[in-house]
Amino acid sequence: HPQLDSFPTDFLWGSASAAYQVEGAWDADGKGPSVWDNFVKIPGTTFKSSNGQVAVDHYHRYQEDVALMAEQGLKAYRFSIAWSRIFPTGKGEINQVGLEFYSNLIDELLKHDIEPIVTIYHWDLPQALQDEYQGWESRQIIEDFTTYAKLLFDTYGDRVKYWVSLNEQNVFIMHGYMMGTHPPAVRDPKRMYAANHIANLANASVIKAFREGGYSGKIGPSFAFAPAYPLDCRPENILAYENISDMSAHFWMDVYAFGRYPRIMLKNLEKMGLLPEITESDLALLKEGKPDFMGLNYYQTMTVANNPLDGVGMSGEANYTGEKGSTQESGMPGLFKMVENPYLERTNWDWTIDHQGLRVALRRIASRYDLPVLITENGLGEFDTLETDGTVHDQGRIDYLQHHCLAIQEAISDGVEVMGYCTWSFTDLLSWLNGYQKRYGFVYVDRDETSEKELTRYKKDSFYWYQEVINSNGQSL
């Protein structure tokens, strides 16, 4: 691809995970329970009642996993810290063993020249904070989250240069408080917008603390961005596209980057009686929380069309992150409805496959926010087959990643500053709601929903493919 710019020499070729999805050891060494530990016990919440009690046992096998990362040549590994491993009840007494676990993991990575990218919050809220003050619905969490983050900065800041504050605030807030499919399983838009505002304040407070503490390195949130397309050029469909863009993208990213909500959304929420309490000092704090980069979790795009006032409403699982299947009839009357994009194929979980959408996402972030982008997640969740000889032929994943990597290179050539690319995921892991059958990794982990088996690791074909990409700094694409 001679017409394209090369990847920067310090490009972070990486991969990612989250504590609850890989660690297991859910109650080991003083760890307190998280809301996810309890939520999965409620019948019907997850596929075949799958849970993260053992997950892929990364807590006990991190050295083996890091050795595999080193063999592949990873430049960066993004992982999250389980808050309740550090503070079993969310605050107060520190669990030194928990603190040590991540310290050891960081050292192990650095020993192999792998840059740690640490996510401070990837959804596993300490249950104690949910019980005491309803977690994200109380402003008390701003202080507790900041105390926890500062401890991480103080403990690991000498070794960690990249921090992700909140992972996919849009997803955990919408699933948790509107669709009721994540803890605390609330279905109430008013409470959702209130909790979301508090999460914005907590995010800004942590970034502000990072700046004030004078730590070196960079910090930003990771946003689940599913760029929207209008169905066609009919003006009413363009308007639907404007609506979804404000509601699903600007409503979060404007707050991160500019410290303010989009005015169309404010008016909208006011009309619907859903506007949260936003004080002058809140606005001042939001302004102080400007990130160094936008973390981008990209999986798919969504397509929208006009939806009359008596049109289709939100249905069950559907939402406007585009993340729950693109073919479901759903929408907001008078604003937009989701429609099928006839030009795109879909995964077995009904997510559109759209590598050009990644270039679009990168371009939109660069143009609107003028921030560098760290791609913190992207990958293909699919069934994989372990052959009797221990191989896994995941050509579909290779094709998917290949196209997405080229889309990144195109975006770089367009002028977007892309810091790195973390695929989702390094090893197979627990998909929050879809069990162990929906696999994302370069490394197959032999377990399923009913049996942990031996949890043996096997390198998939994609493992070797990415090894070559990293080794050639993208020249092999």
Residue of 381, 420, 441, 474 that binds ligand BG6 (CB under 6 A): 381
Q: Which 64-123 residues touch ligand BG6, going by CB under 6 A?
A: none
Least distance in Å: CB of 423 to ligand BG6? Answer: 11
Least distance in Å: CB of 113 to ligand BG6? Answer: 26
Query: What are the beta bridge partners of residue 13?
Result: 421
Residue of 168, 246, 384, 428 that binds ligand BG6 (CB under 6 A): 168
Nearer to ligand BG6, 54 or 151 (CB): 54
Binding mask 325-364 for ligand BG6 (x = CB under 6 A): ----------------------------------------
Least distance in Å: CB of 370 to ligand BG6? Answer: 25
In 3D, which of 226, 251, 249 has the Cα closest to residue 377? 226
Least distance in Å: CB of 167 to ligand BG6? Answer: 5
Query: What are the beta bridge partners of residue 420?
Result: 12, 374
Nearer to ligand BG6, 18 or 257 (CB): 18
Q: Which 291-330 residues touch ligand BG6, going by CB under 6 A?
A: 297
34 sits near ligand BG6 (criterion: CB under 6 A): no
Stretch that binds ligand BG6, among 251-259, 270-278, 279-287, 429-437 (CB under 6 A): 429-437
Nearer to ligand BG6, 303 or 319 (CB): 319
445 sits near ligand BG6 (criterion: CB under 6 A): no
Q: Which 173-232 residues touch ligand BG6, going by CB under 6 A?
A: 224
Q: State which residue has the least CB distance to ligand BG6.
A: 431
Residue of 424, 444, 458, 465 that binds ligand BG6 (CB under 6 A): 424
Residue of 14, 15, 18, 380 that binds ligand BG6 (CB under 6 A): 18
In the residue annotation, 377 being an active-site residue is answered as yes
Stretch that binds ligand BG6, among 96-104, 153-161, 166-174, 276-284 (CB under 6 A): 166-174
Residue 332's Cβ-count burial label (10 Å; 0-12, 13-18, 19+) is: buried
Residue of 26, 432, 444, 465 that binds ligand BG6 (CB under 6 A): 432
23 sits near ligand BG6 (criterion: CB under 6 A): no
164 sits near ligand BG6 (criterion: CB under 6 A): no
Q: Which 253-282 residues touch ligand BG6, going by CB under 6 A?
A: none
Catalytic one of 137, 323, 377, 410: 377
Rounded to the nearest 5 degrees, what angle is found at the Cα of 459, between the Cα atoms of 456 and 465?
Answer: 165
434 sits near ligand BG6 (criterion: CB under 6 A): yes
Residues at the interface with ligand BG6 (CB under 6 A): 18, 21, 167-168, 171, 224, 297, 377, 381, 424, 431-434, 438
The residues annotated with a catalytic role in the active site are 377
